[in-house]
Amino acid sequence: MECWFVQEKPGRGGGLTGATTQEKSLLHIRTDKQSDVTGSQRNPSDIDPNRVYVITDPSANLCHASLNPPRGSIQKPQCEINPFLPQPSSLNWVASLTESALSPVYLQADWFSSSFQGLNQQIGVSTISRAPTGTKEHDVILSITSRTMSAKSRLGEPVTLDCSFWVDPSTPLSASGFAVEWRYQTRGDGRLVLAYDGKLDRLADTHETGAFLDFEALHERGNASLVLEEAKVRHSGTYICTIYLPYLLAQVAMELEIVEPPSLSIHPSPLPLAVPGQTLNLQCEASGFAPLPLELSWEFKGADGKSRSLGSGRMSGHRQAWDGTFSQSSRLDLDTSKLDLGRGGEVTCVAVHAGGTRRASVTLNVIGFSSPSIEDSMAMVGVALVLYGLIKFVSWSFTGSNKADGEEKKEK
């Protein structure tokens, strides 16, 4: 796997660090030390031999298909490797891991932090690896994975943000416990969502309501996934899952977007009867949607079944409700004389949103239309015939009754 080796240049005179540098590197990945992954392969000419590394990953997380596309693929996974300095943490939920305050001899080695992202964001992996000083063979000590690098949810639904970790059981650091931390960030603002000290089995007091871990799965399988009981608009943003070991940490970041399509309503509904030359004022209200971008437009479908656009109308500004969702409206002046609406049809408001397209319709009836259709003409002829028949029937009945009365009088 091709990767970027990124490090900071030391500042002049041993002062502040300078700009960062990045060099192309090549990683040969294997799951056990007995495997020969280099073989007779030639390294690319544009990669310094000192930046060619052999990575042993017993967890096999780095062997995911999205991190190993076919040769010649245009798209490639993202990879970055950085030097890492082990050090203790002063955070309340991590401090118990290094209570002895003595750095083990095991830390005297070269340490590296690496981050990987698979094709189409199928997986994200972050590792901490150790190499005997001056060697190019790295052993993965801590590995974190997530399969929800870009997640979406509707309002009110439960959300699970995937985060799992693996620790090399042969490392002496594995016996000293672990800690889990979830943080939220968006637009420069951040907050602690949840923190857990796995060694003392203690949850930090500052955890967010409605967010929890499956502690059984956490201790048995390293499943540190965050569960949000009920998705809200304020949950949209970046979530960072961090796993701590004594002196080590690795983290993976993922995006969550809450997407809720709008609810549409048209006013007035139903529409009053219209006459040619009359102008009707319609309003389409879109409410309860998130995120903000929304397109509203109007359509008309006549009695002939043909549809045409009536434009977007006059758009209002957006308004935000207490729950963070938005509302917006469009007004349409429907002039029955200029738009050639015939005898009427169906007026539809169309909302295009990230959560999907929504439609709302009302029926328009235009009376007194100057050019009746064939159906209308036939209907009028039918009505005229029925009325004529009724008149003749009444006339015959009346005439017959008078004749009967006259003959009765003659007989008397």
Whole-number Å distance between alpha carbons of 287 and 266: 12
User: DSSP of 283-333, one letter per residue?
Assistant: EEEEEEEBSS-EEEEEEEEETTS-EEEEE--EEPPPEE-TTS-EEEEEEEE
Handedness of CA 47, 51, 55, 61 (dihedral sign): negative
**What 3-state DSSP class applies to 182?**
strand
H helix count then E strand count, the chain: 2, 26
CA atoms in the 13 A half-sphere facing the CB of 15: 5
How high is the pLDDT of residue 409?
Answer: 47
3-state secondary structure 66-133: HHCCCCCCCCCCEEEEEECCCCCCCCCCCHHHHCCCCCCHHHCCEEEEEEEECHHHCCEEEEEEEECC
- Stronger pLDDT, 186 or 167, i.e. the higher one: 167
How high is the pLDDT of residue 78?
Answer: 95
Whole-number Å distance between alpha carbons of 128 and 30: 15
The predicted model gives 2-30 an average pLDDT of 81
Kindly indicate the confidence band of residue 14, based on its pLDDT and cuts at 50, 70 and 90: low
| Closest by CA position to 276, among listed 198, 354, 338 | 338
DSSP E strand boundaries for 122-168: 124-131, 137-146, 150-153, 159-161, 164-167
Whole-number Å distance between alpha carbons of 362 and 365: 10
Residue 376 pLDDT exceeds 60: no
The predicted-structure confidence for 141-158, as pLDDT tens digits, reads as follows 999 999 999 999 999 999
Helix, strand, coil share of the chain (percent; to 5) = 20, 45, 40
The predicted-structure confidence for 235-287, as pLDDT tens digits, reads as follows 999 999 999 999 999 999 999 999 999 999 999 999 998 888 888 999 999 99
Query: Percent of the chain, pLDDT > 70?
Result: 87
How high is the pLDDT of residue 99?
Answer: 78
Residue 8 pLDDT exceeds 90: no
Do the beta carbons of residue 279 and residue 333 sit within 8 Å? yes
How high is the pLDDT of residue 35?
Answer: 76
pTM: 0.82
Query: Percent of the chain, pLDDT > 90?
Result: 66
Q: Which domains does the chain have, with CATH numbers?
A: 2-35+43-98+106-258 (2.60.40.10), 263-365 (2.60.40.10)
Token pair listed for 264: 């549409």
164 to 152, 255, 264: CA distances (angstroms): 19, 16, 41
How high is the pLDDT of residue 17?
Answer: 58
The predicted-structure confidence for 171-230, as pLDDT tens digits, reads as follows 999 988 999 999 999 887 889 999 999 999 999 988 789 999 999 999 999 999 999 999
